[in-house]
Structure 1
Amino acid sequence: MKLNRKISLATGMFTTTILLLTGVLVIQQWFSTLQTQLELSAQDLAVTISEMESLQYNLTLPNGSIPIQRRMDELKLSTRTQYIYVLNKFGDYYSHTVPALQGTREEDPFIQSILTSSVPEVRVRRTGTSRFPAVEAAAPVFYQGELVGLVITGFLNGRMYQDIRLNIQTFSLFLILAVFISLYSSALLSFSIKRSMSGLEPEEISRLLGQRAMTLENLKEGIVTIDQLGNIIYFNASAIRLAGLREWDLNQSVQSYFFSQGFQFCLDKKRTISLELLSLTGLTLQCRFEPIFTESGDEVLGATLVMEDLTIVRLRAEELTGIKQINEGLRAQNHEFLNKLHTISGLIQLEEYDEAVQFITGISRNRKSIVGRLSDRIKDSSVAGLLLGKYNKAQEQQCEFYLDDKSFLPNLKGMSDTLNLILGNLIENALEELAGNIDGILQVGVYQSGQNLRILVRDNGQGIANVDHVFKRGFSSKGPDRGLGLFLIKERVNREDGHISLETRPGHTEFIVEIPYIEEEVL
Structure 2
Amino acid sequence: MARRSPRRPMSLARQLLLLQVAVLALVIAAGTALGIVDQLRDSDDANRREVTAVAETLALSDSTAAALRSPDPTALLQPETERIRQATGVDFIVVMAPDRTRYTHTNPALIGQPFGGNIDRALTGETFTETYAGSLGPSVRAVTPVYDDGTLVGLVAVGITRARVGAEVAASLPLLFTLAGAGLVASTLGALLLSRRLRRQTLGLAPDELRRLYEHHDAVLHSIGEGLVVFGRDEEVAELVNDEARRLLELPDGPVRLASLPASLRRLDLSDATDAGDEVHLTMNRVLVVNRHPVNWEGRRIGTVLTIRDHTELQDVLGELDSVRGFAETLRSQAHESANRLHTIVTMVELGRYDEAVAFATDELRLSQQLIDRLMATVEEPALAALLLGKVGEAAERGVTLTVTEDTALGPVPTLRARELVTLVGNLVDNAVDAARDTDDPWVEVSVRQEDSMLVIRVADSGPGLSPDSLANATTRGYSTKSGSRGLGLALVSQVVGRHRGVLRAEPSLGSMLVVEIPLPPGGGS
Q: Aligning the two structures, in what range does the TM-score lie when normalised by the shorter sequence?
A: 0.5 to 0.7
Matched, 1:110 2:44: no
| CA 449–133 in structure 1, closer or farther in 2 if over 3 Å, else same | same
Counterpart position of 2:433: 499
Counterpart position of 1:468: none
User: What are the ranges of 5 or more consecutive residues in structure 1 without an aligned counterpart?
Assistant: 320-377, 385-402, 409-447, 460-491
Q: 1:406 aligns with which of 325, 330, 335?
A: 335
TM-score by length of 2: 0.57
Equivalences for residues 451-470 of structure 1 within 5 A: 451=387, 452-453=390-391, 454=394
Equivalences for residues 327-406 of structure 1 within 5 A: 406=335
Partners of 2:286 and 2:175 lie apart in 1 by 78
Counterpart position of 1:54: 63
Give the 3-state SS of the residue equivalent to 2:34 in structure 1: helix
Counterpart position of 2:178: 173
Q: 1:149 aligns with which of 125, 130, 154?
A: 154
Counterpart amino acid of residue 18 in structure 1:
V
Give the 3-state SS of the residue equivalent to 2:119 in structure 1: helix
Q: Do the aligned partners of 2:280 and 2:290 also contact (CA within 8 Å) in 1?
A: yes
User: What are the ranges of 5 or more consecutive residues in structure 2 without an aligned counterpart?
Assistant: 1-8, 338-383, 400-425, 447-458, 460-488, 494-526
What are the superposed Cα offsets for residues 219-268 of structure 1, whole Å, 9 maximum, x if unpaired?
443323355263444333433443334xx43314443x452563355247
Aligned residues: 359
Counterpart position of 2:249: 243
Partners of 1:187 and 1:129 lie apart in 2 by 53
| CA 203–456 in structure 1, closer or farther in 2 if over 3 Å, else same | farther
Counterpart amino acid of residue 255 in structure 2:
N
What are the superposed Cα offsets for residues 341-399 of structure 1, whole Å, 9 maximum, x if unpaired?
xxxxxxxxxxxxxxxxxxxxxxxxxxxxxxxxxxxxx9969x99xxxxxxxxxxxxxxx
Q: Which moved more, 1:169-178 or 1:130-139?
A: 130-139
Q: Cα RMSD over matched residues?
A: 4.5
Counterpart position of 2:311: 309
Following superposition, the deviation at residue 87 of structure 1 comes to: 0.9
What are the superposed Cα offsets for residues 460-484 of structure 1, whole Å, 9 maximum, x if unpaired?
xxxxxxxxxxxxxxxxxxxxxxxxx
Q: 2:201 aligns with which of 189, 192, 196?
A: 196
Counterpart position of 1:31: 40
What are the superposed Cα offsets for residues 137-190 of structure 1, whole Å, 9 maximum, x if unpaired?
111111111111011111112223333433211211331343344445444433
Give the 3-state SS of the residue equivalent to 1:2 in structure 2: coil
Following superposition, the deviation at residue 26 of structure 1 comes to: 1.1
| CA 317–90 in structure 1, closer or farther in 2 if over 3 Å, else same | same
Q: Do the aligned partners of 2:95 and 2:154 also contact (CA within 8 Å) in 1?
A: yes
Partners of 1:503 and 1:53 lie apart in 2 by 131
Partners of 2:134 and 2:187 lie apart in 1 by 40
Q: 1:266 aligns with which of 257, 265, 269?
A: 269
| CA 68–240 in structure 1, closer or farther in 2 if over 3 Å, else same | closer
What are the superposed Cα offsets for residues 70-102 of structure 1, whole Å, 9 maximum, x if unpaired?
211211222201111111233322212222332
Counterpart amino acid of residue 205 in structure 1:
L
Partners of 1:237 and 1:99 lie apart in 2 by 96
Equivalences for residues 278-293 of structure 1 within 5 A: 278-280=282-284, 282-289=285-292
| CA 207–55 in structure 1, closer or farther in 2 if over 3 Å, else same | closer
Partners of 2:135 and 2:253 lie apart in 1 by 77
Partners of 1:218 and 1:93 lie apart in 2 by 96
Q: Do the aligned partners of 2:51 and 2:159 also contact (CA within 8 Å) in 1?
A: yes
